Amino acid sequence: MKVLKSVFGNSGMKALIAYVTVGYPDVATTLRLVPLLAENGCDIVELGVPFSDPLADGVTIQRASYVALQQNVTPGTCLDVAAQLSRVTDVPLVFMSYYNPILRMGLQRFCEASQVSGVSGLIVPDLPPDEGEALEVECSMHGIDLVYLVSPGTPAARLAYVAARARGFLYMVSLTGVTGVRAEIDGGLEQFVARTRSVCPLPLCVGFGISSPLHAKQVARFADGVIVGSRLLQLVEEDRSLAKAVQFVRELRQSIDSPPG
């Protein structure tokens, strides 16, 4: 199991993080897609655990969760998929799950099974740090980084509090709202990242609304990582051969690595 810290070890290196919903459009596609993402420039892959009420997600990921649930993709399925993927790729795998499926399985059991499956991190968008102590303990015991989220509206004192509790990296939501494709990056995002960096020693990775190589390049100028999900899932839907998704990831990687200008 590769730890998240290892991704950010090289000075100046910017991480490309991809999100995929496990089981969308089917499990076989997930098992094909993730190794391709790793081979073509992704440094971390988030595996979305399908949930019936994904309140932080926009239409694209909501639909992906619905399709996966219709095919009976459960947390157990996701653990099995992660185990298979961890045997064929070296990039860290991170579960993105709402709290209810974790609670239903049991915190200890979920974290034990995640560790066995080779999962390096966990993102729980509906879990505030104030209520996260029990999960933090289990994650720590099983070598899993619990990644917390902050948004542009997070006050300074709250940023420092969340930063002190997070592990691996801090997930910075680029805007107030849900995930989804956007035409432009919020103009205040750079200031938000700078404000957070002053109180947070962790790598800062930006997600929500990043949907083009230009967006990725803009964000990589001031953040440590770029997270892309909805646009990638759209391309998987458009082209089940996955050629469009792979080309998109290559373009993201090239844009992130290109000199500013």
- Residues with active-site annotation: 46, 57
Three-state SS for 32? helix
CA atoms within 13 A on the CB side of 244: 12
Contact between residue 134 and residue 166 where contact means Cβ atoms under 8 Å apart: no
Burial class from Cβ neighbours inside 10 Å (0-12, 13-18, 19+) for residue 11 reads exposed
DSSP-derived secondary structure letter, 258: S
Three-state SS for 244? helix
Contacts of 61-68 spanning 24+ positions with Cβ under 8 A: 61/19, 61/21, 61/179, 61/180, 61/229, 61/230, 61/233, 64/21, 64/24, 64/233, 65/21, 65/24, 67/23, 67/24, 67/25, 68/21, 68/22, 68/23, 68/24
Dist CA 114 CA 245 (whole Å): 27
Please report the beta strands in the chain, taking only residues with DSSP state E, as ranges in sequence order.
Answer: 15-21, 44-48, 93-96, 119-123, 145-147, 149-150, 170-173, 204-207, 225-228
Locate 56 and state its tokens: 């932080």
Dist CA 50 CA 26 (whole Å): 12
